[in-house]
Amino acid sequence: MDEIMRPIALVTGGSAGIGLEIAKLLAADGHDLIVTGISPRVHDAAEALRACGGKVTAVQSDLSRPEGVQQVVEAVQAAGRLDVMVLNAGIAVGGAFLDNALERHLNLIDLNIGSTVRLCHALVPDLIRTQGKILMVSSVSAMAPTPYESVYGPSKAFMSSFGHGLREELRGTGVNVTILHPGATATEFHHRAGMDATVFGDNSWKNDPVLVARQGVEAMMAGVTSLIGGDEATQRIGEERKDLSEEEKARRHAEKARPPKTR
Ligand SMILES: NC(=O)c1ccc[n+]([C@@H]2O[C@H](COP(=O)([O-])OP(=O)(O)OC[C@H]3O[C@@H](n4cnc5c(N)ncnc54)[C@H](OP(=O)(O)O)[C@@H]3O)[C@@H](O)[C@H]2O)c1
């Protein structure tokens, strides 16, 4: 008798934060998983995700590098099919633009933009074969200037715009692209960005990654184009932003992202 094929989902940055919560939901929904992370703990995350009963492959690789992307592509090729691709791994670099080495900004671009383009170019053909789904984890920062994380917001604006364009090109193929724009979310993200001393560094007021992940997965499954991830206050802020000038949005972002010494 033929073995029943379970759908396979790739979740980049599935070892922590929003990506781990998305991976848990997809595992509970009957997907086998390929989860990626930059550190060895992706193997612990994979072990925990196996409790849902599916097959879970862990890939430890640096997605800011072409070789790291290639490792993920090879894992998908070894799995033999791809039904869901969640592009979630991403970083910010906190602090004033000139206070950070150029290399840190370029590394952010290589991860947030470069890996998005590389993975789509390599794996969208697999998704066309299965009429699969893409979830891009962008940010509300895509919709505003982000002083003191100056390259981050533009990198997410790229992702959102790229996602909308790709969605249109894929019309009629059965592949759907959903773009999730989370508001500030309580993960390791701002700590990793070196922003502990800023308002964003305090996780107590931020969105629950479980909520943001659920909203994203439900939207992807329903074929929604674009959404803001987070609680009612986050949704309200997202709506209000539409009427603000770029200058005002930049000022408001700086209030939360500016390190104390430059206030
Ligand atoms: N948290 C927020 O406030 C917020 C708001 C809006 C949008 N987002 C977006 O949500 C996404 C997930 O962020 P998060 O908050 O869940 O962050 P997080 O808790 O810091 O998790 C980041 C994930 O990305 C992986 N990663 C980091 N650098 C990598 C690299 N060079 N190559 C491969 N993997 C790498 C990490 O792997 P390890 O576990 O091995 O370190 C981890 O799995 C990001 O794209 C971020 O821009 C976050």
Model pLDDT for residues 72-127, shown as the tens digit of each residue: 999 999 999 999 999 999 999 999 999 999 999 999 999 999 999 999 999 999 99
Residue 1 lies in a domain: no
Ligand 1 mean position to 87 CA, how many Å? Answer: 10
Which mutation among 71, 86, 91 tests ligand 1's pocket best, with the greatest number of atoms within 8 A of CB?
A: 91
In angstroms, what CA-CA distances link 234 with 20, 32, 126, 207, 229? 21, 32, 35, 8, 8
Residue 185 located in a structural domain: yes
Q: What is the Å distance from ligand 1's center to 13 Cα?
A: 6
Range of the domain at 74: 8-262
Q: What is the side-by-side strand order in the sheet with 8-11?
A: 56-60, 32-37, 8-11, 84-87, 133-137, 176-182, 226-229
Q: Is residue 183 part of a domain?
A: yes
SS3 225: coil
CA distance 155 to 253: 16
Residue 3: inside a domain, yes or no? no
Q: What is the whole-number distance in angstroms between the Cα of residue 187 and the centre of ligand 1?
A: 8
Residue 3: pLDDT band with limits 50, 70, 90:
low
**pLDDT band (50, 70, 90) for residue 2:** very low
- 3-class secondary-structure state, position 175: coil
Please compute the mean of the pLDDT values over residues 129-138 and round it to a whole number.
Answer: 98
Task: Tell me: pLDDT of 259 over 60.
Answer: yes
First to last CA, the chain: 68
Residue 147 is assigned to a structural domain of this protein? yes
156 in a structural domain: yes
| Amino acid at site 22 | I
Q: Is 152 a catalytic residue?
A: yes
Decide if 2 is inside a domain.
no
Which atom of ligand 1 has the smallest separation from the CA of 40?
Answer: 40
180 C-beta closer than 6 A to ligand 1: no
What CATH number does residue 243 fall under?
3.40.50.720
Among residues 21, 38, 42, 152, the one annotated as catalytic is 152
Q: Is the CB of 192 under 6 A from ligand 1?
A: yes
Q: How many domains does the chain have?
A: 1
Q: What is the pLDDT of residues 23-70, one digit of tens each?
A: 999 999 999 999 999 999 999 999 999 998 999 999 999 999 999 999
Task: Give the residue, by CA position, lying nearest to ligand 1 atom 8.
Answer: 139
> Is 184 a pocket residue for ligand 1 (Cβ < 6 Å)?
yes
In a domain, 256, yes or no: yes
Ligand 1 pocket mutation, candidates 67, 72, 86, 88, criterion most atoms within 8 A of CB = 88
Q: Can you say whether residue 126 is alpha, beta or left, with left for phi > 0 and alpha for psi between -120 and 50 degrees?
A: alpha
Residue among 18, 72, 198 to mutate when testing ligand 1 (max atoms within 8 A of CB): 18
